[in-house]
Amino acid sequence: MMKEIIIATNNKHKVEEIQQEIGKKIKIIPLKELGFREDIPETGSTLKENARQKARFVFEKFGKDCFADDTGLEVNALGGRPGVYSARYAGEKCSFDDNINLLLEEMNGKTDRTACFKTVICLIENGEEKYFEGICKGNITTERYGNKGFGYDPVFIPEGYGESFAEMSGEEKNKISHRGKAIRQLIQYLAKK
């Protein structure tokens, strides 16, 4: 019987990316399949706190094994911003485009364009928490490149590559991305069980 695990999100891009990486070993159940469409509070000051808060919320609501991730883009020239506020950098009801526009505006004229994406996953299994972290270093571009992926993908070129995440196939991106690295750790952990 295939293992099922709830993912604490309704972000279809994230679900597709994670399911592609996990493959057929585990079926991930997004919240909408459980009829849950509300936003889960994210009031932590770190990615780890937010991942834990979301996972705990879902575990307490449904009583089933689940995991949640929080991802942030940390830009050195901006003192680590947008960081934990990456998804709502330009405001609460902002779009990916709004966030990118603000980032490019704030990076205008900056010579240090180094940044990194970080993902922290909190898995709750039988009430116990485990954490997995992935980091991908790179640079912020001066304009958008590509139309694949989501979020800041069009303005992030990973270290050692000549194209943005948004120019890569999902498979290529997952091999080197922060989320891909964290998910592989999660899969390795689950595979040992």
What are the residues whose beta carbons fall under 8 Å from the beta carbon of 159, sequence distance 6 or more? 136, 137, 138, 139
**Residue 98 known to be catalytic:** no
Cβ of 126: how many Cβ atoms within 10 Å? 6
CA–CA separation, 89 and 96 (whole Å): 9
Nearest to 9 by CA among 62, 55, 72, 65: 55
- The tokens of 172 are what? 């290529």
| Contact of 156 with 165, CB cutoff 8 Å | yes
Cβ within 8 Å of residue 134, ≥6 positions away = 118, 119, 177, 178, 179, 180, 181, 182, 183, 184, 185
DSSP code string of 6-39: EES---HHHHHHHHHHHTTSEEEEEGGGGT--SP
Q: Which of 65, 69, 70, 153 is an active site residue? A: 70
Residues taking part in catalysis: 70
